Amino acid sequence: MTISLNQTGKRYNYDWIFRRVTLTFSEGQRYAILGPNGSGKSTLLQVIFGAIQHNEGTITYGTPEKPIATDAFFRYCAIAAPYLELIEEFTLSEIIHFHQQFKSLLPGITPKKAMELVGLEKAANKQIRNFSSGMKQRTKLALAILSDVPVLLLDEPCTNLDSAGTAQYQALINEYGGNRMIIVSSNDEQEYFMCKEHIQILDYK
């Protein structure tokens, strides 16, 4: 799996968030998009994901076997981000089973195992609306990291997590990151500890 950006830019009205981004993200590599708050890190990640349309340049996706259409890329990736909402009427067990209708879990991972890995097994029948912000974030991380997809996108993944939650996140990455492409948007080294490639968003202003 590769993701290629060629002279890609995004603007809101007349203000460019970033311009002329030319990068190739490769299978098995881990990348951190770095920069101060409000610099456009999350916007770049959302453009890569396809949630936001870019204004200039191109983005292409592909595997060694075939190119992937932009509107099909979501099948190949999972994302966790603070601004993505969970269905609050569902219980934790229900939301995991709902998620499995769209993306399978990694081999050997059951819903029960997923809940245990983030310390939420006792909340299996609790509605998401009654979760704390930290519990919601752990749920998002479990759904993303434990999905059987080749690309993992993480936007400030330790938001609302305490030290124990951050340790759980790091353990999940170490154990289940595998040979997947991982792209992290962050300014906290605890979140991108595994990334050897660093991309400075300010280089594209």
Task: Name the residue ranges covered by the structural domains of the chain.
Answer: 2-204
Sheet of 197-200, strand order: 77-80, 151-155, 181-185, 30-34, 197-200
Name the one residue in this structure whose structure tokens are 């939420």. 120
**Mean pLDDT of all residues in 115-144:** 97
CA distance 171 to 118: 10
CA angle 9, 65, 72 (to 5 degrees): 50
Q: Is the pLDDT score of 129 beyond 90?
A: yes
Rounded to 5 degrees, what are φ and ψ at 147?
Answer: -80, 145
Average pLDDT score over the chain: 96
The CATH number given to 2-204 is 3.40.50.300
Assess contact for 138 and 120: CB atoms under 8 A: yes
Pair type for strands 77-80 and 67-68: unpaired
According to the model, what pLDDT value does residue 64 have?
82
| Residues 143-177 pLDDT 10s | 999 999 999 999 999 999 999 999 999 999 999 99
Rounded to 5 degrees, what are φ and ψ at 4?
Answer: -120, 125
State which amino acid sits at residue 79: I
Q: Is the pLDDT score of 12 beyond 90?
A: yes
